[in-house]
Amino acid sequence: MEVTEKKPKVSVCVVTYNQEKYIRQCLQSIIDQVTDFDFEVIVADDCSTDGTRAIVREFAEKYPGVVKPIFHNKNIGAYKNFIFVHEKASGEYTAHVDGDDYCLPGKLQNQAIFLDANPGFALVAHKMEILNDDEIIGSTRSNPETIEIDYLLKNHPAFLNSSTMMRRVVWGSLPRRDLLLDFHIYIHACICGAIGFQNKVLGVYRQGIGISSSHNLLPQILDAIDSAKRSTVPRIEEFMRGAKAKNALSYSFSHLLRRDYGEFSKSILIAWDFGSNRFFVWCFYKMRKNPKLLRQLVVLYKKIK
């Protein structure tokens, strides 16, 4: 008689690359979750060159059938690795955890209970503590318990990717892109239903380590915002324009502080196109030809504030 393997209720998808300092704590925090359901931990290592792979293999051997490793033979990049690991998920719900973050007790149980009780919600997220240089410096923002697309566009980033759990059917209906951001997923989740938010801390985020801290993702963020056109919410075009202006202004601010004046100029022109009526957009645009002076004023403003 053929025995079929029981599918887990939750698939926890972990992406990692050269994170030997953090991956052990990440994986142990997932294994230690107490749940009344089965879960699997799919770990996709993107051809690490440090000790990450050995640690992942150690967990797979210690927890066979639970920790399921994927070892790429060549580096495929963070975005493709993210898509790859989620395609391997078999659970009804899919949680995501970056290899440098970790979970706190109760995360999986709390989120699964929420999705079980709220069939109209496509995804649920939670607050996270922020860790910087081994010190907790605060937590992420509080949000309404129900997040719909207008709020999401106005307040991006409202939460972090390592705080999310979604229905696998939502992932299955997501339009594919070569470069897929978590923001694409959140907008799609709002179109599919709504996003729930738990204003309790159920995870820890390491600040300044992930890919978004060192890459200019503005073109992809604008593409994600464009995907909101599929929504039937009234005034969606207005919300989209506001979101584009806000995110472009944020990137122009970051480029200015880093003295990357060429990228600053590109970003502020985009912000102007979508939000010329905004005060800071107007100020930055008018002073764009004198970025060094503008930077001095911004640094002074930050000190006073």
CA distance 64 to 74: 25
The model's pLDDT over 272-300, given as tens digits with 9 standing for 90+, comes to 999 999 999 999 999 999 999 999 999 99
The per-residue pLDDT for 176 is: 82
Average pLDDT, integer, range 222-241: 96
Across the strands, what pairs with 70? 44
Q: How confident is the model at residue 210 (pLDDT cuts 50, 70, 90)?
A: low
pLDDT tens per residue across span 110-143? 999 999 999 999 999 999 999 998 899 999 999 9
Q: Please state, in angstroms and rounded to a whole number, the distance separating the CA atoms of residues 68 and 44.
A: 9
Separation between Cα atoms, residue 212 and residue 4, nearest integer Å: 41
244-277 pLDDT per residue, tens: 999 999 999 999 999 999 999 999 999 999 999 9
Q: Which residues pair with 39 in a beta bridge?
A: 10
- Mind giving me the DSSP string for 114-161? HHHH-TT-SEEEEEEEEEETTEEEEEPPP--SEE-HHHHHHHSSSS-G
Tell me the whole-structure pTM to 2 decimals. 0.92
Residue 213: pLDDT above 90? no
Residue 265 tokens read as: 């100029």
**CA dist., res. 257 & res. 260, Å (int):** 8
Average pLDDT of the residues of the chain: 94
Domain-wise residue ranges, the chain: 10-213, 234-304
Assigned CATH for 10-213 = 3.90.550.10
pLDDT band at 301 (very low <50, low <70, confident <90, very high): confident
Residue 180: the pLDDT is: 86
Q: Model confidence over 33-87: pLDDT tens digits?
A: 999 999 999 999 999 999 999 999 999 999 999 999 999 999 999 989 999 999 9
- The pLDDT of residue 209 is 66
Per-residue pLDDT at 102: 98
- Write down the pLDDT at residue 214: 47
Mean predicted confidence (pLDDT) in 174-190: 91
Instruction: Give the pLDDT band (50/70/90) at residue 5.
Output: low
| Average confidence (pLDDT) over 193-220 | 84
Q: Work out the pLDDT band at 215, boundaries 50, 70, 90.
A: low
